[in-house]
Amino acid sequence: SIKVTINGIVVEAQPDDTVLLAAQRAGIKIPSLCYLKGVNDPAACRVCVVEAEVNGVPMRNLPAACVLQVQEGMNIRTSTGKVRKAVRKNLELILANHDRDCLTCVRNGNCELNKLCEEFGVDQVPYDGAVRERHIDDSSYSIVRDSGKCILCGRCISTCKNVQGIGVLDYTGRGFNTRVAPAFEYGMRDIDCIYCGQCIVSCPVAALKEKSNIDQVWEAIDDPEKFVVVQTAPAVRAALGEEFGIAIGTAVTGKMVAALKQIGFDKVFDTNFSADLTIMEEGTELLQRVTKGGVLPMITSCSPGWIRYCELNYPDFLENLSTCKSPQQMFGAVVKSYYAETFQIDPKKLVSVSIMPCTSKKTEANRPEMEVDGIRDVDFSLTTRELARMIKQAGIDFLSLHDEATDSVIGEYTGAGVIFGASGGVMEAALRTVADILTGEDLDDIEYKECRGLEGIREASVTLPIEGRDTEIKLAIAHGTANAAKLLESIRSGEKNYHFIEIMGCPGGCINGGGQPHISARKRMELDSKALRSAVLYAEDARLPVRKSHMNTEIQKLYSDYLSEPCGHKSHKLLHTHYQE
């Protein structure tokens, strides 16, 4: 290791550390806006400048700590008058070309620029010239891009290109008029964006945000003619609390249900229920494909970002996709058929709302094929962040809420449904059911640990008795579309073959979806939010009395009273879909 001195403290650093990282390990915070751990280090914002000398010789200018490599004998000062003045000046320059309507900004309260301006005492913007032309693109169902808020840090560009392997955003224009935009300034609707929202969660300001549907949902709740039901995705409970100051990695399931009831939803359900339903359908589909010579590997179809990625980039794999709709859509279809019939509610008066950790779910809910006999499965899909805003608008004191439970007859769920929200969870949930069905037993060994973790691509195999013969079933899991591409290439080339694959569009799965609460770049250096949020779901699974989808009694009743059997005629009409080339 290398010894450097930072603000008089001797710090042990690794040879390839930057000064920013070495300082962070020593508990010294250096401000920064463009740096994002593991994603972006372009020295674009120049807010992380420091004074540096090596063996007593001062370095020229003020180097940026995010790209400055540590050297033996380096002496760094992070808060001299010269540094503070430079930081303030750079912040002022950023503000000069930034829309400053902070009071009406969706990031008010968690804007990283605002926070630094406060910390550095920026109390005026002395540059009063022309500002960049503002362009707001709300052409897609999912994402709004506002060039007036953009500070050109490049975090979204790097995330889209490097993390997701997509690259639809880039710098365009020159000098003062530089902007971040899709090529030829196309609208977000018209490009190969998969609406994953990873660019939103990496944005330090409000240049990227979800397209909000809060107002339509309030309107439906206020309308006495409407019966408004809500479902919450598995991953929401693992992160919603963060919006109310609760530590990352804390479950708020019961409070979330209580808040939804106070907001005024007529019934509160859980997407975990339809995650269990998905396992019944998808598990059956897998067994049919394996025994009847269907297309293999079968690939999961719950993640709409992944589905769009596949449609746009790997159409030769469309036959491999499970025909199952996602749990979000299955839930909507069941609410407007089975539930409506059971309680004799006119499906036209039913409004089905979902709370998702995802921005792509908004686009999925609006896909033309996501309806049955002209009735939409899901009318409005909100992000976790939007739900937090509704809770605040309703004046609910979230922290003091008492836990409440979901409504019946489509509200029960098992541990298998809960873990859908973490990468590998759908695979593990499916194995629990498929193994029981094939062995005819109620197996105790249900924690498939090889499915868990955050490695980008994971492989596993299980041996199961299929048609009287012990058969090895080969499995793979990928999360984040860059990893999905790698996995698909290895299958295309013939290097690998599998029976069953889980792919989620976002790195880490839904717990790290593009609709989840923002985590500042600084926080991301300190903790692993993906691991912490995933742990919430695995802990909830372990606590639940029933942990296998086929043992969900309300799912059993749904089949006996209504659907008859998995992958039967009614299921195909309500719960399965097709894909677009």
The closest of 154, 94, 98, 97 to 120, measured between CA atoms, is 94
| Alpha-carbon gap, residue 4 to 54, rounded angstroms | 9
Q: Is 91 in the site for ligand SF4 (CB under 6 A)?
A: no
From residue 193, how far is each of 135, 167, 178, 197, 373 by CA, in Å? 18, 9, 21, 9, 29
Q: Is 142 in the site for ligand HC1 (CB under 6 A)?
A: no
Q: Which of residues 403-462 bind ligand HC1 (CB under 6 A)?
A: 420-421
Buried/exposed 87-120: b ≥16 CB within 10 Å, e otherwise? bbbbbbbbbebbbeebeebbbeebbbbbbbbeeb
Residues in contact with 343: Cβ distance below 8 Å, sequence separation at least 6, in sequence order? none
Q: Is 193 in the site for ligand SF4 (CB under 6 A)?
A: yes
| Alpha-carbon gap, residue 407 to 398, rounded angstroms | 20
DSSP string, 482-509: HHHHHHHHHHHTTS---SEEEEESSTTS
Closer by beta carbon to ligand HC1, 271 or else 352: 271
Q: How far is the CB of 393 from ligand SF4 (least distance, A)?
A: 26
The amino acid sitting at 387 is L
| Alpha-carbon gap, residue 511 to 234, rounded angstroms | 8
235 binds, options ligand SF4, ligand HC1, none, Cβ within 5 to 8 A by partner type: ligand HC1
Among 63, 182, 327, 508, binds ligand HC1 (CB under 6 A): 327
In eight-state DSSP terms, residue 222 is: H
Q: How far is the CB of 156 from ligand SF4 (least distance, A)?
A: 6
First to last CA, the chain: 53
Strands 179-181 and 267-270: unpaired
Closer by beta carbon to ligand SF4, 39 or else 277: 39
**DSSP run (H or E) holding 429:** helix 425-439
420 binds, options ligand HC1, ligand SF4, none, Cβ within 5 to 8 A by partner type: ligand HC1
The closest of 100, 32, 98 to 66, measured between CA atoms, is 32
233 binds, options ligand HC1, ligand SF4, none, Cβ within 5 to 8 A by partner type: ligand HC1
**Structure tokens given for 399:** 């922290």
The amino acid sitting at 299 is I
| Alpha-carbon gap, residue 194 to 485, rounded angstroms | 14
Among 66, 106, 168, 335, binds ligand SF4 (CB under 6 A): 168
In eight-state DSSP terms, residue 548 is: -
Among 235, 286, 324, 487, binds ligand HC1 (CB under 6 A): 235
Among 111, 302, 333, 430, binds ligand HC1 (CB under 6 A): 302
Closer by beta carbon to ligand HC1, 24 or else 271: 271
| Alpha-carbon gap, residue 235 to 245, rounded angstroms | 17
| Alpha-carbon gap, residue 343 to 330, rounded angstroms | 18
DSSP string, 409-425: SS----HHHHGGGSTTH
Q: Is 306 in the site for ligand SF4 (CB under 6 A)?
A: no
Per-residue binder mask for ligand SF4 (CB under 6 A), 114-153, x = binder: -----------------------------x----------
Strands 208-210 and 143-146: antiparallel
The closest of 437, 454, 436 to 445, measured between CA atoms, is 436
Q: Report the 3 state secondary structure along 459-487.
A: EEEEEEEECCEEEEEEEEEEECHHHHHHH
Among 35, 120, 141, 195, binds ligand SF4 (CB under 6 A): 195
Q: Is 558 in the site for ligand SF4 (CB under 6 A)?
A: no
Q: Is 574 in the site for ligand HC1 (CB under 6 A)?
A: no
Q: How far is the CB of 192 from ligand SF4 (least distance, A)?
A: 8
Q: Is 358 in the site for ligand SF4 (CB under 6 A)?
A: no
Q: How far is the CB of 236 from ligand HC1 (least distance, A)?
A: 6
Counting every residue written for the chain, the total comes to 581
Closer by beta carbon to ligand HC1, 204 or else 421: 421
Do you find a cis peptide bond into 409, omega within 30 degrees of 0?
yes
Q: Is 549 in the site for ligand HC1 (CB under 6 A)?
A: no
Among 199, 236, 358, 477, binds ligand SF4 (CB under 6 A): 199
The closest of 304, 244, 281 to 510, measured between CA atoms, is 304
Among 150, 233, 240, 574, binds ligand HC1 (CB under 6 A): 233
Q: How far is the CB of 145 from ligand SF4 (least distance, A)?
A: 8
Residue 259: CB atoms within 10 Å: 24
* Catalytic residue numbers, as ranges: 282, 285, 302, 322, 361, 364, 369, 510
Number of residues that bind ligand HC1 (CB under 6 A): 19
Among 43, 62, 113, 160, binds ligand SF4 (CB under 6 A): 160
Q: Is 326 in the site for ligand HC1 (CB under 6 A)?
A: yes
Q: Which of residues 333-372 bind ligand HC1 (CB under 6 A)?
A: 356-358, 361
448 binds, options ligand SF4, ligand HC1, none, Cβ within 5 to 8 A by partner type: none
Q: How far is the CB of 79 from ligand SF4 (least distance, A)?
A: 35
Number of residues that bind ligand SF4 (CB under 6 A): 14
* Among the residue ranges 20-28, 162-170, 334-342, 445-453, the one whose residues contact ligand SF4 (CB under 6 A): 162-170
Residues that bind ligand SF4 (CB under 6 A): 143, 159-160, 164, 166, 168-169, 193-199
Residues that bind ligand HC1 (CB under 6 A): 233-235, 271, 275, 302-303, 326-328, 356-358, 361, 420-421, 509-510, 513
